[in-house]
């Protein structure tokens, strides 16, 4: 499954109204740790397939979303269930921890 690009325009539809859990990766192109997290997020999307939605939010391009969720450092991974924040991870996070938080 491909990773969605989440923006202020599609956030409501793709995240809040999702019937599946959503993993969102808040990142920036210049961020070294974000580059380390990116392949992990891609692997999670491939492994979990249709059971979950996986998206990336460019914090520089979507400051409104970053502010809404109090993103102070990146990467920040937020898991949403039923449109609400279920769990937040800050910094490079092992794939297993993210997958465990979805279950």
| Catalytically active residues, by annotation | 31, 34
Other C-beta atoms closer than 10 Å to the C-beta of 63 total 12
Distance CA 24, CA 77 (A): 6
Spacing of C-alpha 33 from chain mean position? 14
Strands (E), 14-75: 22-27, 53-58
């Amino acid at each position: 499954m491909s990773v969605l690009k989440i923006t202020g325009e599609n956030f409501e539809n793709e995240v809040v109204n999702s019937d599946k859990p959503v993993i969102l990766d808040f990142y920036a192109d210049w961020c070294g740790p974000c580059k380390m997290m990116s392949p992990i997020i891609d692997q999670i999307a491939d492994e979990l397939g249709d059971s979950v939605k996986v998206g990336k939010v460019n914090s520089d391009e979507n400051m409104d979303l970053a502010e809404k969720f109090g993103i102070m450092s990146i990467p920040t991974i937020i898991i949403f269930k039923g449109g609400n924040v279920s769990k937040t991870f800050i910094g490079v996070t092992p794939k297993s921890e993210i997958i465990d938080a979805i279950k």
